[in-house]
Amino acid sequence: MKLLRLSFILLFLSFLPVHLISQEEYDVKEHYNKTEVDIPMRDGTLLHTTIYSPKDTSKEYPILMQRTPYSSRPYGEDQFRSLISPNEYLMKEGNIVVYQDVRGRWMSEGKYDNMRAIIPNKSGDEFDESSDTYDTIEWLIENVDNNNGRVGTWGISYPGHYAVASLVDAHPALKTSSPQAGIGDFFFDDFHHNGAYLLSYWRVTALFGYDKTGPTTEAWYDLPDLGTQDQYQFFLDVGPLSNLDEYYGEDNVFWQQLKEHPNYDEFWQSRGIIQHLEDIEPAVMVVGGLFDAEDLYGPFNTYKKIEETSDNYNIMVFGPWSHGDWARQTERQAVGNVYFGDNLSEDYQRNIETKFFNHFLKGDGDGDVDLAEAYVYDTGARKWNSYEAWPPKNTEEKVFYLGDDQELTGEATDNEETFVSDPDKPVSYNDEIKAVFTPREYMTGDQRFAARRPDVLVFETEVLEEDMKLTGKILARLNVATTGTAADWVVKVIDVYPPDAENYEETMKHLDMGNYHMMVRSEVMRGRFRNSFENPEPFEANKKTPVNITLQDINHTFKKGHKLQIQVQSTWFPLIDRNPQTYVPNIFEAEEEDFQKQTHTVFGDSVIEFSVIKE
């Protein structure tokens, strides 16, 4: 078994915001003092914490805090980050900025628990991520000089999850939080989508699965080296998931948990954070990327749950970004081959993020702040929209049935489309040979390669004679049948460009944007969970069966001259693992003979429901 230390370094960097500021432009060391402390939690565990305080002590500052499992490095009081705080503007104007290694990670004591469960009504020395945040804030307010008694939390990805956790039973000094791409539930974010295991995340199981023996500044794990850039072939050759035990043994705690909990049982349910978001008091700004391949469920549902249960200030920002793009300062914003506009992240940082934090941490926090309820980028029209609510309230339903002759129609038909799904020849999620941790570019990727496969059903409109804007929810209500007893169902929403579409600077050289099939939204449903994520059940062979798939929200104008296309397939490899297509209680324990070729049918009364703004 070959292991690759460099993979850890690249992986670690992939979680961090990349700002285009040089050390020469702004030297943090000239403007900030740095201290490192170990803060005691209520059970006595010490959490390693790094504090950057402005050298100008003539005034008081709020505290901006990020808790992270990815290290608060660099360690050593003479070692400084080149950039601190959510963005350069907040850094330059002065804030007390705090980074903390969460319990059980890096230089902090304790045992790490991946997506540690929230404990309601804690007593005594009971702890969770909410209480660790509370105890940290309490210490900071009492011990850090020149703080103004106000704290804000923020973070992207897993640190975004810890920002969400800070809102539960929040400390009174916590005035605001910006969870950005925060994980909401590991059964719907990151490691699973609607119960389907994301094989693309398998390598990162090393990052979260191994326990360390004590505080450390060095990585205590390595990522498996595939030995090839052809990850499709690698995972196909591996065969059933159980064969991956060669790479992760019993000492990888998270790999064992994944295998032992294939269903949405108490183990996963207790680790979800969304259900705990009630009566939230601090101001919240949820941020997400409309093309975030890792965390879309969490941000959307965090905002919606708080909006439903709380009376606090609660807004959201969703741009044409992949995971964490908003924290970068890239002049041309693109995802994969598709360009969306210039300086979108800088505009967000300067005019939304900085204004949000300053209002609640440096202003009086009262009165109106000049920000919209929901900023959502129109990824087809290439412009920002501001909404008074999300989803917008002034919408109506627009439906498309999967009709005859590959057409999207306005009425149900008695059409039946069949295809053969072969686990030995699964449909890829893209047409590139590239080994990546979590694929990002496929979220806008060209789907022509899939449309030309016999095991992918294609339905599309005629060329649009006028713009058609789809905003908000998407629900696919499929009626299907299979000759087997198990199947996955994948639905993709695609914008088909006209033949004369011009290329972008970012378009790969071997591609042409003419007739480009841009994926706008996609989702998978592991069919065994069609009625319950807790209690899976097989299909009855050859029986017409409903399968509903909720896709994440969109805000996309299909322009005049384009076409709306829907693709339906049953494999999506190696983004998700292969379904044996014969029912087994636990796919992690499936054997080679369980993987069988089956024929699937999609009926013409299957419908895709969208929302459109009323005129």
What is the rounded CA–CA span in Å between residue 259 and residue 161?
Answer: 23
Q: What is the mean pLDDT of residues 394-419?
A: 95
What is the rounded CA–CA span in Å between residue 561 and residue 421?
Answer: 33
Nearest-CA neighbor of 161 among 371, 301, 39, 14?
301
- In tens, the pLDDT along 22-51 reads 334 899 999 999 999 999 999 999 999 999
Distance between alpha carbon 392 and the CA centroid of its chain, in Å? 22
Give the end of a domain, one of 346, 369, 387. Answer: 387
**Does residue 21 form part of some domain?**
no
Query: What pLDDT score does 329 carry?
Result: 87
Same domain, 350 and 410: no
Contacts of 368 (CB under 8 A, 6+ apart): none
Dihedral over alpha carbons 230, 232, 235, 237 (to 10 degrees):
-80
- Encoding tokens for residue 164? 């969400």
Cβ atoms of residues 352 and 371 within 8 Å: yes
**Does residue 4 form part of some domain?**
no
Same domain, 432 and 457: yes
- In tens, the pLDDT along 59-91 reads 999 999 999 999 999 999 999 999 999 999 999
Cβ atoms of residues 166 and 74 within 8 Å: no
What is the rounded CA–CA span in Å between residue 569 and residue 491?
Answer: 7
Q: What is the mean pLDDT of residues 115-121?
A: 96
Same domain, 81 and 165: yes
**Does residue 112 form part of some domain?**
yes
- In tens, the pLDDT along 593-611 reads 999 999 999 999 999 999 9
Same domain, 513 and 552: yes
- Residues forming beta bridges with residue 67, ordered by sequence position: 100
What is the rounded CA–CA span in Å between residue 596 and residue 587?
Answer: 13
Phi, psi dihedral angles at 389 (to 5 degrees): -160, 155
Contacts of 145 (CB under 8 A, 6+ apart): 53, 57
Same domain, 414 and 376: no
Query: What pLDDT score does 367 carry?
Result: 67
| CATH classification at residue 367 | 3.40.50.1820
Give the end of a domain, one of 345, 363, 387. Answer: 387
**Does residue 199 form part of some domain?**
no
What is the rounded CA–CA span in Å between residue 609 and residue 163?
Answer: 33
Query: What pLDDT score does 614 carry?
Result: 83
Same domain, 407 and 380: no
Same domain, 476 and 589: yes
- Encoding tokens for residue 412? 């149900």
**Does residue 543 form part of some domain?**
yes
Q: What is the mean pLDDT of residues 565-594?
A: 98
**pLDDT > 90: what percent of the chain?**
92
What is the extent of the structural domain holding 117? 28-185+271-387
What is the rounded CA–CA span in Å between residue 53 and residue 337?
Answer: 42
**Does residue 206 form part of some domain?**
no
Q: What is the mean pLDDT of residues 226-234?
A: 94
Cβ atoms of residues 20 and 86 within 8 Å: no
**Does residue 263 form part of some domain?**
no
CB burial readout 142-161, b (16+ within 10 A) else e: eebeebbebbbbbbbbbbbb
Give the end of a domain, one of 387, 403, 436. Answer: 387
Tell me: pLDDT of 365 over 80.
no
What is the rounded CA–CA span in Å between residue 99 and residue 88?
Answer: 16
Tell me: pLDDT of 19 over 90.
no
Same domain, 109 and 139: yes
| CATH classification at residue 400 | 2.60.120.260
Nearest-CA neighbor of 284 among 394, 347, 369, 364?
369
Same domain, 299 and 153: yes
Same domain, 378 and 465: no
Cβ atoms of residues 408 and 461 within 8 Å: yes
Same domain, 280 and 326: yes
Split at pLDDT 50, 70, 90, the class of 437 is confident
Q: What is the mean pLDDT of residues 579-602?
A: 98
Same domain, 411 and 300: no
Which residue type occupies 264? Y
- Residues forming beta bridges with residue 289, ordered by sequence position: 319
Strands (E), 208-310: 223-224, 283-289
**Does residue 196 form part of some domain?**
no
Query: What pLDDT score does 55 carry?
Result: 98
Report the DSSP pairing between strands 283-289 and 314-319: parallel
Cβ atoms of residues 129 and 102 within 8 Å: yes
Overall number of domains in the chain: 2
Q: Is 545 helix (H, G, I), strand (E, B) or coil?
A: strand
- In tens, the pLDDT along 158-207 reads 999 999 999 999 999 999 999 999 999 999 999 999 999 999 999 999 99
Query: Quick one: 404 exposed, middle or buried, by C-beta within 10 A (0-12, 13-18, 19+)?
Result: middle
Query: What pLDDT score does 368 carry?
Result: 77
Distance between alpha carbon 425 and the CA centroid of its chain, in Å? 28
Nearest-CA neighbor of 376 among 312, 447, 455, 291?
291
The pLDDT mean for the chain works out to 94
